[in-house]
Structure 1
Amino acid sequence: MIGNDALGDDALMARLAAWDAQAFALVVDGHALTIRRIGYRMLGDAAEAEDIAQEALARLWEHAARWRPGGPGIGAWLHRVAVNACLDRIRKRRFAGDGTLPDRADEAPIADVLIDAEQQRAAVAACVAALADRQRAAIVLTYYEGLSNIMAADALDMNIKAFESLLHRARRTLQDSLQRAGLIDPSAMRAA
């Protein structure tokens, strides 16, 4: 994140509204990587993730003058824009037909342990990718990006109770998928 201690989001947005390129560079440095990660985890494609990051940052730049001081902050706003842009692309994919996520490039690890870990990671990623769009967004924001439930709820434009219900359903669905994929032992889940 950017140094919010030295320069708060409201002050930074005031500078952006005045077309301050240095302020925009601070935002890009502080948030672009997180937005790209959200895009990649939602869409499974690095090029599309880069497009999502650019789109979210461009929207912030274009709409800086509309910023309402005292709101949830630049990060939460960018998370919301990125998630919504990802959901739009997912809907367009379904409408276009295919509906499958592109294969990841082979990273060619050299050790058997790394190969097994990559296969397990890919299987988990496939289970996450199979979640309903908003459930996937809830998992990505909370587990992969480390957002609090309150921040993730804000990013999805939901109240906290609705978000927690969504996250609970997402966890249960993901757990069932992981069990079917043989990644977790159902008897171990009952013992816990």
Structure 2
Amino acid sequence: MQIPDDELVRRIAADDEVAFRALVGRHVDQAYALALRILRNGADAEDVVQDAFLKIWTGRHRFEPGRAKFSTFLCRVVINRCIDLHRRQRGEPLDAIAEPADPRPDVITMMERAEADAMLERAVDALPERQRLAILLSYHENLGNEEIAAVMQTTVFAIESLLKRARERLRDVLREAAQDVRLSLPVD
């Protein structure tokens, strides 16, 4: 039987390193995936996750079990660390991570998919920061609006509004991009 996160957090507050290792092992992949989606750089994502867990360990006596789910709290810490890193690197471009290879043998389909993914990624990157985070948490982390509101420290209504505006902006940007692509094709 797996020990619940709240119990591990209580043990960590009592300086139990074994409990801390168990909690890290349980959540490190989710934290890394979130940091990687935000930063798009594997080394930076690893640094952010390591820093987030270090912050959790050093602040272990202040965490209040039951106040929030640990995974929600961890998402908030990771996002804050990503924002801090991004602020420190302002002016420097973030390294792009290459798309994973598509196993399908059809090269044309792969190229079209890569172009569509890049177009969507650019559109998401162009969103205001809070809209971008809401979209990432909703679609990449599969969090519900209540969980996103907890992570972003706002109301569910504000999250619904952020997501609505983000989706509308993405639709407009992608519609314009599709029109540009059609205009650039030769007429038969």
What TM-score range do you get, normalising by the shorter chain? Answer: 0.7 to 0.9
1:90 partnered with 2:86: yes
Amino acid aligned to 1:128 = V
CA deviations 1:138-171 (Å, max 9, x no partner) are 0110111100111111111112111211121121
Give the secondary structure class of the aligned counterpart of 2:158.
helix
Q: Distance in 1 between matches of 2:94 and 2:124?
A: 12
Instruction: Give aligned pairs, total.
Output: 177
Task: Report percent identity of matched pairs.
Answer: 35
Does the 8 Å contact 1:127/1:174 carry over to 2? Answer: yes
Q: Distance in 2 between matches of 1:63 and 1:42?
A: 24
Q: Distance in 2 between matches of 1:155 and 1:136?
A: 14
Please say which of residues 148-157 and 125-134 is displaced more in the overlay: 125-134
Partner of 1:42: 38
What is the TM-score with the length of structure 2 in the denominator? 0.83
Matching of residues 106-145 of structure 1 within 5 Å: 111=105, 112=107, 113-145=109-141
Partner of 1:15: 11
CA RMSD of aligned residues (A): 2.3
Larger Rg: 2
Q: Distance in 1 between matches of 2:174 and 2:33?
A: 22
Gap regions ≥5 residues in structure 1: 184-192
Q: Distance in 1 between matches of 2:15 and 2:160?
A: 38
Partner of 2:26: 30
Q: Distance in 1 between matches of 2:97 and 2:117?
A: 12
1:86 CA drift (Å): 1.6
Amino acid aligned to 1:103 = A
Does the 8 Å contact 1:16/1:64 carry over to 2? Answer: yes
Partner of 1:101: 94
What is the TM-score with the length of structure 1 in the denominator? 0.82
Partner of 1:160: 156
Does the 8 Å contact 1:77/1:155 carry over to 2? Answer: yes
Partner of 1:55: 51
Q: Distance in 1 between matches of 2:94 and 2:165?
A: 22
Runs of 4+ in 1 over 6 A off after TM superposition: none
1:106 CA drift (Å): 6.6
Amino acid aligned to 2:136 = V
